[in-house]
């Protein structure tokens, strides 16, 4: 997994701690190997209080790091918790006023918007893309450390049409590689997941004949075994010879799993690196209608250095109608997420940073919350 670094031992735990004062400070930065990250202010606006959020496990490692940074700078009167329950449960918690904001790896669907808006009262619920990530295809094949898998082959594997690792289609993707006569064990998310949505979207858009089912947060493929959360998928792959699964890349690195080079629309095999993921992400069109910031990926883009299985985690938050006591801290923390200091740390954690102009656009949205 060239270009990626280990991301910790347990990415699915909640993060919270206490800290202090109300002031403006500067966060610890980090070197960036992804997109440009010099757009928004590096200052932290501190506020006292408590925030509770939950949702996407894909952004868990990043959010844990940012919470630690924010609370370290702001002192012992600032308390923020984030529980990686998954995108679906996170949105539900937000609409039921059990979370001040939620993380979701897909924007609010049209069917979810009315209930989310109702939760906000005087305003509407926004979907603001803030933490771009990379989806790894993780595998456990004894004595195989490098593997190419086309979108067509992946579609057949995750629809139970290919069941052995020495199948002719996999051999064609991997000339000269000795593959075992070993049964393929596929693992997917059992819970509603933005990672499932984005991975199934990649398969459907890139290989519609072999994966004809449209993207869905509930895994739409046939067969396989479901596991709770990305952590569960990664651990199942790690413990099962012949296994394959998908998760945000930090779960692959923390479980020491090999990841496949995957096929793009032109049939080229692209290694999973942060720069390659950034190259694909930079081709996305951003929809800002309704005050949102939503990425639409171009799966037809087929450069050799553009890794096509990516996601963006959206922070789901009220444009207005937020609790007045929590508003300063909510704006302060979310603005920090979009800052150059925070975004510059993402590549070293295995994520992709927003571009400079994207950081500024997202920061403007968070600054306008009321």
| CATH of residue 344 | 3.40.190.10
What is the predicted pLDDT for the residue at 8? 33
Confidence of residue 14 (pLDDT cuts 50, 70, 90): very low
- For the chain, what percent of residues have pLDDT higher than 90? 86
**CA of 38: how far to CAs of 294, 337, 340, in Å?**
21, 13, 5
247 or 10, greater pLDDT: 247
Confidence of residue 19 (pLDDT cuts 50, 70, 90): very low
Confidence of residue 75 (pLDDT cuts 50, 70, 90): confident
Q: How many CB atoms lie within 10 A of CB 266?
A: 12
DSSP state of 347: G
Vertex 230 angle, CA 80 and 126, to 5°: 50
Confidence of residue 43 (pLDDT cuts 50, 70, 90): low
Are both 158 and 259 inside the same structural domain? yes
Are both 22 and 117 inside the same structural domain? yes
Are both 277 and 139 inside the same structural domain? yes
What is the predicted pLDDT for the residue at 42? 55
Are both 123 and 144 inside the same structural domain? no
Are both 246 and 141 inside the same structural domain? yes
Tell me how long the chain is.
370
Are both 237 and 155 inside the same structural domain? yes
User: Is there a domain that residue 180 lies in?
Assistant: yes
Total domain count, the chain: 2
DSSP state of 93: H
306 or 42, greater pLDDT: 306
Are both 257 and 152 inside the same structural domain? yes
User: Among the three residues 225, 258, 281, which one is the final residue of a domain in this structure?
Assistant: 281
Are both 102 and 176 inside the same structural domain? no
DSSP state of 333: H
Of the listed ranges 10-14, 60-64, 296-300, 311-315, the one predicted with least confidence: 10-14
User: Is there a domain that residue 161 lies in?
Assistant: yes
What is the predicted pLDDT for the residue at 78? 87
User: Is there a domain that residue 299 lies in?
Assistant: no
User: Is there a domain that residue 75 lies in?
Assistant: yes
Are both 118 and 144 inside the same structural domain? no
Mean per-residue pLDDT, 354-358: 96
Tokens read off for 22: 């109300």
Tokens read off for 125: 């619920």
Vertex 146 angle, CA 261 and 164, to 5°: 90
Q: How many CB atoms lie within 10 A of CB 68?
A: 16
Vertex 162 angle, CA 156 and 164, to 5°: 150
| Under 8 Å between Cβ of 158 and 137 | no
User: Among the three residues 255, 281, 307, which one is the final residue of a domain in this structure?
Assistant: 281
Are both 163 and 114 inside the same structural domain? no
What is the predicted pLDDT for the residue at 35? 40
User: Is there a domain that residue 85 lies in?
Assistant: yes
Mean per-residue pLDDT, 290-295: 98
**CA of 351: how far to CAs of 5, 139, 251, in Å?**
10, 20, 12
| Under 8 Å between Cβ of 276 and 309 | no
| Under 8 Å between Cβ of 259 and 163 | no
Does pLDDT of 27 surpass 70?
no
What is the predicted pLDDT for the residue at 76? 74
What is the predicted pLDDT for the residue at 3? 38
Range of the domain at 61: 18-131+322-367
Does pLDDT of 298 surpass 80?
yes
Helix (H), strand (E) at residue 285: strand 285-287
Rounded to whole angstroms, how far apart are CA atoms 49 and 80?
8
pLDDT digits (tens, 9 = 90+) for 117-156: 999 998 999 999 999 999 999 999 999 999 999 999 999 9
| Under 8 Å between Cβ of 223 and 274 | no
Q: What is the pTM of this model?
A: 0.86
Average predicted confidence (pLDDT) for the chain: 89
pLDDT digits (tens, 9 = 90+) for 85-117: 999 999 999 999 999 999 999 999 999 999 999
Rounded to whole angstroms, how far apart are CA atoms 179 and 186?
17
User: Is there a domain that residue 241 lies in?
Assistant: yes
What is the predicted pLDDT for the residue at 26? 39
With 0-12 CB in 10 A as exposed, 13-18 as middle and 19+ as buried, what is 183?
exposed
In the block, tokens 């347990």 appear at 10
Are both 172 and 89 inside the same structural domain? no
Mean per-residue pLDDT, 327-351: 96
Does pLDDT of 333 surpass 70?
yes
Are both 35 and 155 inside the same structural domain? no
- 3-state secondary structure string, 169-209? HHHHHCCCCCCCCCECEEEEECCCCHHHHHHHHHHHHHCCC
User: Is there a domain that residue 68 lies in?
Assistant: yes
User: Among the three residues 231, 262, 281, which one is the final residue of a domain in this structure?
Assistant: 281
Of the listed ranges 15-29, 98-112, 275-289, 303-317, the one predicted with least confidence: 15-29
């Amino acid at each position: 997994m060239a270009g990626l670094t280990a991301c910790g031992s347990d990415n699915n735990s909640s993060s919270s701690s206490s800290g202090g004062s109300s002031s403006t400070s500067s966060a610890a930065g980090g070197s960036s190997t992804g997109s440009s990250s010099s757009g928004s202010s590096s200052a932290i606006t501190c506020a006292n209080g408590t925030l509770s959020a939950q949702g996407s496990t894909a952004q868990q490692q990043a959010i844990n790091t940012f919470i630690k940074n924010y609370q370290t700078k702001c002192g012992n009167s600032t308390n923020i918790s984030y529980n990686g329950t998954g995108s679906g449960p996170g949105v539900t918690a937000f609409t039921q006023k059990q979370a001040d904001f939620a993380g979701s790896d897909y924007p609010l669907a049209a069917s979810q918007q009315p209930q989310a808006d109702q939760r906000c009262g005087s305003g509407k619920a926004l979907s603001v893309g803030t933490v771009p990530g990379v989806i790894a295809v993780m595998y456990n094949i004894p004595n195989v450390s490098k593997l190419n898998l086309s979108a067509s082959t992946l579609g057949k594997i995750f629809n139970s049409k290919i069941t052995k690792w020495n199948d002719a289609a996999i051999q064609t993707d991997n000339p000269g590689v000795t593959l075992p006569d070993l049964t393929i064990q596929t693992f997917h998310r059992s819970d509603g997941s933005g990672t499932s949505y984005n991975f199934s979207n990649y398969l459907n858009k890139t290989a519609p004949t072999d994966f004809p089912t449209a993207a869905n947060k509930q895994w739409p493929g046939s067969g396989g075994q479901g596991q709770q959360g990305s952590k569960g998928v990664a651990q199942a792959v790690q413990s099962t010879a012949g296994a394959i699964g998908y998760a945000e890349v930090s779960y692959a690195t923390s479980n020491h799993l090999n990841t496949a080079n995957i096929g793009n629309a032109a049939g080229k095999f692209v290694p999973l690196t942060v720069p390659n993921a950034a190259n694909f992400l930079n081709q996305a069109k951003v929809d800002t209608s309704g005050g949102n910031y939503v990425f639409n990926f171009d799966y037809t883009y087929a450069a050799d250095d553009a890794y096509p299985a990516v996601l963006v985690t959206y922070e789901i938050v009220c444009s207005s109608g937020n609790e007045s006591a929590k508003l300063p801290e909510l704006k302060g923390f979310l603005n920090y997420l979009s800052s150059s200091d925070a975004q510059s740390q993402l590549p070293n954690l295995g994520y992709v940073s927003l571009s400079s102009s994207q950081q500024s656009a997202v920061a403007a949205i968070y600054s306008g919350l009321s």
